[in-house]
Structure 1
Amino acid sequence: MKYRKKPVEIEAVQFTDDPDTLIKINDGLGLDPVNVSYEDPDNPVLKIPTLEGVMTAQVGDYIIKGVNGEFYPCKPDIFKETYEPSGLSVDGKLLAEKLAVPSEREVDKQARRE
């Protein structure tokens, strides 16, 4: 008998060793603590606690938050084969900045009132 994988929507961030990405992994995905090991300074790894034990992600791997809130790493080639974007992604900070700027219509209304 053949089986097909059910469509599942996940959240993921590609691991790079920079502060912005580590913040996305922590704040965006909710992985806390974010534990990067620099035992080999040229190859930092992210250590992810899982039910199966601690797994490591290398730079370029995707960190996936599963449907039940579990985290695990995924190699980029497997990620691209398995997943595709499900829609628009939203950057909360960028959205807040855009919402803080009044639209042309609001500016026109304000000008008419004055």
Structure 2
Amino acid sequence: MKYRKKPVEIEAIQFADDPDTLIKINDVLRLDPVNVSYEDPDNPVLKIPTLEGAMTAQVGDYIIKGVHGEFYPCKPDIFEETYEPSGRSVDGKLLAEKLAVPSKHELDKQSRDAQRRKGFL
């Protein structure tokens, strides 16, 4: 049997080790406390409490607030393949503007489709 993921709207912010992003993670997503570990100063990680225990997010990962208020990290490539902009604003900015760039997977698919139409594949 095959299954399809239900369309669910989530809130997410891409983790960066800067004050503005950390404030957004706290104020917009309501993750409290925002706990960044600097054990390795060149590789700060955000520690996220989850039902399964503490998870860590590296710079560039997305911090997702799920439908039921749970938090979890997501790698950028997985995020871009799984989610698309809803067109709603987050923190006064249109999230769709940032995420409107096609993912590498989508660009590869478009290229393959174009090659098929031309008879190369």
TM-score normalised by the shorter chain: which range applies?
A: 0.7 to 0.9
Question: Counterpart of 2:14?
Answer: 14
Q: Max radius of gyration: which structure?
A: 1
Aligned to 1:104: none
Matched, 1:49 2:49: yes
Q: Is the 8 A contact 2:28 2:90 kept in 1?
A: no
Judging changes above 3 Å, is the alpha-carbon distance between structure 1 residues 90 and 19 closer, same or farther for their aligned structure 2 residues?
same
Amino acid of the structure 2 residue aligned with 1:2:
K
SS at match of 1:21: helix
Deviations 1:71-94 (A, max 9, x none): 0000000000000110131434x8
Partner Cα separation in structure 2 for residue 84 and residue 37 of structure 1: 30
> Under a length normalisation based on structure 1, what TM-score does the superposition of the two structures give?
0.79
User: For the residues of structure 1 that align with 2:13 and 2:91, how far apart are their CA atoms?
Assistant: 12
Can you give the 5+ residue segments of structure 2 that lack an aligned partner in the other structure? 94-121
Distance in 1 (alpha carbons) for counterparts of 2:91 and 2:55: 28
Question: What does residue 81 of structure 1 align with?
Answer: 81
Rounded Cα–Cα distance in structure 1 between residues aligned with 2:90 and 2:48: 25
Runs of 4+ in 1 over 3 A off after TM superposition: none
The alignment of Structure 1 onto Structure 2 pairs a total of residues equal to 93
Task: Check 1:54–1:90 CA distance in 2 against 1; reply closer, same or farther (3 A cut).
Answer: closer
TM-score, reference length from structure 2: 0.74
CA shift in 2, pair 1:68/1:31, >3 Å: same
Q: In the alignment, which residue of structure 1 is the partner of 2:32?
A: 32
Pairwise CA RMSD of aligned residues? 1.1
